[in-house]
Structure 1
């Protein structure tokens, strides 16, 4: 039985690795075709860049399997004496700081408003909260950013990013709040639904009839279900915020991933671009795996149900062949 389980795990790892390799390869060819004019310009300047696409691909695979990032061809960046990984981290740290701040605002406000709406379900408070959240989330980010830039002089907050430690968080706060509007809407809708479903369940109503306080039931039932429910959606929600942050970074001059990507594409730096996509891809997989482990600990029944479904599918396939 243990040998079969080990074989299944090895097969799954092999399949996932093969799928990852195909995805990364497709991204490589798509990017190379997309930035072909910039690559040709680089070839004209630097003879160290391989002109043949397939040779570049083999060179990329060699770097991938040897855990190397490749080299930077731009003379501007070579003078900085930073590796691709070092350059990536120097830009990415601002994106992480900015998006985590924005995500935290969206997560806290969204859940608070969602829980409040659920407790006031079908009342005027619920209607006002839903209407306000919906109205804010439908306004384009660019419009909100332009308004924020225009009012910065009158309200006295920084209109652009300031790296000085004294004003760093203040300069990130306004763009973080603007980026958080979409997250507030998503977390509000999800927490409202989860809280409402728990409060309308037979168990909750029975517990109330036995004299249990709503606060006690919130801590024992609603909070746990909220944590599990939000963890199930936290990866796609963060990815949406991460993608939209590109626009806000450029408007508020935050030197994050948007600068890294735009420079790499404009200069035809294939190694920079592929490192960005590959590193982000593997980081996402690791984060999803950690998230799944936490979910299995908090909700072991979910893992058991998934295994039962998997064995049922195997059993059906086995008997269908017979």
Structure 2
């Protein structure tokens, strides 16, 4: 257990360093001028050379890349991730403000897509070549080929504008004081974006689970169980469910990065104030500290999901836990 913890701490530390370096380099290679993006072209033209130099020094854009990174890394180790240029606030405060909305949105979408995809995959595999199986496959193929932003726009037009069932944007009612916003208001505004975002992971999990279910049902031990008089569902529940659940868990936790990437488009379409929308704003404004902070948070979420998947493997299948203990 000690080796497992130390190994994962080292992996996490190396991941954070690599992500921060790559993010800084990509921002430095961007053609966007942070001063121009944040001050505007008209203000920049009328600004004196001394004022431009003062702003560049204030935002640190006049220093070499390696110097900016070292200064940022030293401050980040002390808990200071820098100042956001676009939001004029500490990066940690901006991320903390937006992370709650994004985590709630992504968590609901991730859980719903995993459960729905697994149930559809198992049911489709147990009823191979039936009408239900064909409907599920067509449904998954259509979802897999549909762009997320187009699906979001369509859902917004139909259910938000035409039918009026859901609000057309934002995470809370417009004009309502923060102390008056209840959990029902938050869930109501999050429902439609979460449904659209959940469609990202349903197709892959359902199709993969279907194929795995078909393989399990055609195995020798399942034929032996059926020969003993067990129904298809009972034999699958007793002898095949764990074998199907393991790859489904792998796909489900691997889809965290896909869900996070999809949330950028969904939050833009629905004007949902989350990390995805903040990342777009930071990218257009050349806000390196905020972009790096969001990149680190997203990498930590993906790493945590993969780590949790490894732990759940041992819970679902004790053979994996025993094999790991022997390897150590």
Fold-level similarity (TM above 0.5): yes
Say if 2:79 is the partner of 1:52.
no
Alpha-carbon shift at residue 255 of structure 1 (Å)? 0.5
The equivalent of 1:27 in structure 2 is 23
Aligned residues: 300
Given candidates 285, 291, 306, the residue that maps to 1:288 is 306
The equivalent of 1:160 in structure 2 is 169
Q: Greater shift after overlay, 149-158 or 186-195?
A: 149-158
Given candidates 88, 93, 96, the residue that maps to 1:77 is 88
Q: Distance in 2 between matches of 1:169 and 1:301?
A: 40
Does the Cα contact within 8 Å between 1:69 and 1:271 map onto a contact in 2?
A: no
The equivalent of 1:318 in structure 2 is none
Give the direction of change, closer, same or farther, for the CA distance of 1:198–1:76 in structure 2 (3 Å limit): closer
Say if 2:311 is the partner of 1:301.
no
Alignment of 1:252-271 (within 5 A): 252-271=270-289
Alignment of 1:1-322 (within 5 A): 17=13, 21-34=17-30, 37-38=33-34, 44-45=54-55, 47-50=57-60, 51-53=62-64, 54-64=66-76, 66-72=77-83, 74=85, 77-78=88-89, 83-151=90-158, 152-157=160-165, 158-163=167-172, 164-165=181-182, 166-302=184-320
The equivalent of 1:315 in structure 2 is none
Q: Distance in 2 between matches of 1:211 and 1:135?
A: 38
Does the Cα contact within 8 Å between 1:145 and 1:178 map onto a contact in 2?
A: yes
Alpha-carbon shift at residue 121 of structure 1 (Å)? 0.8
Render the CA deviation track for 1:189-208: whole Å, top value 9, x for unaligned: 12112221221111111012
Cα RMSD over matched residues?
3.1
The equivalent of 1:316 in structure 2 is none
Q: Distance in 2 between matches of 1:274 and 1:247?
A: 19
Task: Please give the TM-score of this superposition, normalised by the length of structure 1.
Answer: 0.80
Task: Please give the TM-score of this superposition, normalised by the length of structure 2.
Answer: 0.78
Does the Cα contact within 8 Å between 1:69 and 1:275 map onto a contact in 2?
A: no
Over 4 Å off, 4+ runs: 8-20, 39-44, 303-308
The equivalent of 1:314 in structure 2 is none
Give the direction of change, closer, same or farther, for the CA distance of 1:44–1:236 in structure 2 (3 Å limit): farther
Q: Distance in 2 between matches of 1:146 and 1:75?
A: 26
* Structure 1: tracts of 5 or more residues without a match: 312-322
* Structure 2: tracts of 5 or more residues without a match: 39-52, 173-180
Render the CA deviation track for 1:226-263: whole Å, top value 9, x for unaligned: 33222212222121121012111111111011232133
Q: Distance in 2 between matches of 1:176 and 1:75?
A: 27
The equivalent of 2:42 in structure 1 is none
